[in-house]
């Protein structure tokens, strides 16, 4: 399986995983590429939108990478219409151990406006993505779970 399809499968897995952490009456997953949100939920008749990201290098470097452009086009934080940015920092993929950050998009955009990120960088497949690099420690108030539990066996 190609790296692209592995990443796509990982993304879909974490979209479903997100439903364990958010209140919802109904939900819909967005379809297609370059979408403006990943999950639409209704809770008490109110629509709420979530952008879901995951990365495996976060613990290695202690940072979260927030994309804002890809292949010369607006994407990620600059393209989303979501209300919340959901970010999985994967510690052990096989054991499903991660830190989870759920950040209101306006708060994340304000941090970017105030330059409260470490730096910008180029990365991703073929170095086509432009990203803001945030220290995980600077986002602790948005962390939902500790990385030392296996959430798949915890009660949701």
Domains and CATH numbers, the chain: 3-145 (3.40.1350.10)
- Across the range 68-82, mean pLDDT stands at 95
Question: Where does the pLDDT of residue 149 fall: very low under 50, low under 70, confident under 90, or very high at 90 and above?
Answer: very low
Q: Which residues of 126-143 are buried (b: 16+ CB within 10 A; e: fewer)?
A: eeebbbbebebeebeebb
- pLDDT score of 34 more than 70: no
- Across the range 37-41, mean pLDDT stands at 96
Tokens of 30: 């967005």
* Average pLDDT score, the chain: 87
pTM of the model: 0.86
- pLDDT score of 154 more than 90: no
Q: How many CB atoms lie within 10 A of CB 38?
A: 20
pLDDT (tens digit per residue) in 8-28: 566 789 999 999 999 999 999
* Ramachandran bin of 118, using left for φ above 0, alpha for ψ from -120 to 50, beta for the remaining angles: alpha
């Amino acid at each position: 399986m190609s790296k692209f399809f592995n990443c796509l499968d990982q993304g879909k897995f974490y979209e479903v995983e997100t439903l364990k952490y958010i209140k919802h009456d109904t939900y819909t997953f967005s379809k297609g590429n370059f979408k403006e949100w990943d999950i639409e939920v209704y809770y008490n008749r109110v629509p709420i939108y979530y952008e879901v990201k995951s990365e495996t290098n976060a613990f290695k470097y202690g940072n979260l990478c927030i994309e804002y452009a890809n292949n010369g086009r607006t994407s990620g934080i600059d393209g989303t219409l979501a209300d919340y940015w959901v970010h999985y920092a994967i510690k052990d993929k096989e054991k499903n151990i991660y830190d989870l950050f759920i950040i209101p998009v306006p708060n994340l955009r304000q941090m970017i406006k105030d330059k409260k990120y470490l730096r910008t960088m180029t990365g991703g497949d073929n170095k086509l993505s432009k990203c803001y690099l945030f220290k995980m420690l600077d986002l602790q108030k948005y962390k939902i779970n500790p990385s030392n539990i296996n959430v798949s066996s915890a009660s949701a």
